[in-house]
Amino acid sequence: MPRALGERQPNERLREMITACGLSYDAVARAVVRVAAENGKALRTNRSAVAHWVAGTIPGEQTAAYLTEALSRRAGRPVAPEQIGLAAGLRPLPASSSPTGEAAALARADVDNRGFLATAVYTVTGASLPLGYDHEPVARLLRARAGQAKAGRGEVAVVRHVTRAFGAADEVLGGGHGLSSVAAYLADTVVPLLSAWYLDDRTRREAFGAAAELAWLLGWKHHDLGQEGAAQAYYRTGFQLAAEADPYGQAAWMTRALAHQALTAGHRRQARDLAITALARAAGHADGATESLLLVTHARTLAALGERPAAARALIAAEDALARSDEPQASYSLLAGPAPGTFASHTARALT
């Protein structure tokens, strides 16, 4: 018998995915609520709502994104919206084949459609990028795209000056102050510098390092607004830019940002794995102050897992590294403030 015009059709794809994941409707509802909470949203989703979705009701765009992420985690692989019958209306984050293109796309989205980027969802798979990242193919691609325009240390110094100025403003005013202005600067001024011709490779790498610092600042501003999905997107892009500049110390610092996000979201083992990866990258390549902050992050993840002796050893190692005055604190880690204050704050959290 033909279906009446406008009659709702059951979402068989969603039903099949829930069954394949071995979840009850109650469990699905709890998982969606948990993902929403990680993104700063309080949902009252229950088994009845899930039953309505399976029956054909289309959840709101944001709730659909949370549902997709919840099922991806349970399946142990990324699940696309169309695989669960929710393709309509769900828009992916801006993406590109290179970190420079992605940085420009993210920043332009912040300027032109900030509301869209603000609804991005924090994902477990998104946090795992540094765990198996190989920057060499990306580096070859970026070098092949170098243009004819010339740039030098003066331009790089200006980028760092602007980043510090906006970072200082954020410390005083908070709330993501100047976010759109910083995003426009990244898209329109900084990204084009990354395809310029440089007199030496050191200056070119410094340009990528400065861009990574700006991406970190944009991630922090979104975090300050409670927009963890957007923050994660900038941290991921910042990690890739940092790997082009310094695949050791600075890439480790961006990995630390993702570790902190994972820890805050309650993904303690992933946070620990990211912290370990950061320490391995930075070994022998970071100043004492920066290494201290990486170690105290590791200590926090161990403490969160209840591994108290290991956490205590990491805290002692962090204190020893902080006392090591071998060289000045790197500019990228100074964006988070002088190391002693940051060390004290995170040590207190680990001890708590």
**CA pair distance 314, 303, nearest whole angstrom:** 10
Per-residue confidence (pLDDT) for residue 196, from 0 to 100: 85
Per-residue confidence (pLDDT) for residue 4, from 0 to 100: 46
Nearest CA-CA partner of 110 in 92, 124, 93, 89: 93
What pLDDT digit, counting tens, does each position of 191-205 carry?
Answer: 999 988 888 889 999
Nearest CA-CA partner of 80 in 89, 126, 39, 71: 71
Per-residue confidence (pLDDT) for residue 88, from 0 to 100: 59
Task: Give the CA count within 13 Å in the CB-facing half-sphere of 168.
Answer: 6
Average pLDDT over residues 43-71: 90
**CA pair distance 174, 167, nearest whole angstrom:** 10
Per-residue confidence (pLDDT) for residue 82, from 0 to 100: 87
> In the predicted model, is pLDDT for residue 299 greater than 90?
yes
Any idea of the CA torsion for 55, 58, 62, 67, to the nearest 10 degrees? 30
Tokens of 238: 């910042």
> In the predicted model, is pLDDT for residue 302 greater than 90?
yes
What pLDDT digit, counting tens, does each position of 12-51 carry?
Answer: 999 999 999 999 999 999 999 999 998 888 898 999 999 9
- Among the residue ranges 33-42, 80-89, 335-344, the one predicted with the least confidence is 80-89
**CA pair distance 25, 22, nearest whole angstrom:** 10
What pLDDT digit, counting tens, does each position of 239-273 carry?
Answer: 999 999 999 999 999 999 999 999 999 999 999 99
Helices (H), the chain: 12-20, 25-38, 47-55, 61-75, 99-112, 114-118, 124-127, 135-144, 153-173, 179-185, 191-193, 201-224, 228-245, 249-264, 268-282, 288-304, 308-323, 331-334, 339-351
> In the predicted model, is pLDDT for residue 96 greater than 80?
no
What pLDDT digit, counting tens, does each position of 135-179 carry?
Answer: 888 777 777 666 667 888 899 999 999 999 998 887 777 767 889
Per-residue confidence (pLDDT) for residue 146, from 0 to 100: 62
Model confidence at 133, pLDDT cuts 50, 70, 90, reads confident
> In the predicted model, is pLDDT for residue 91 greater than 70?
no
Model confidence at 216, pLDDT cuts 50, 70, 90, reads very high
Residues in the chain, overall count: 352
Question: What global pTM score does this model have?
Answer: 0.88
Residue 165 neighbours by CB distance under 10 Å: 12
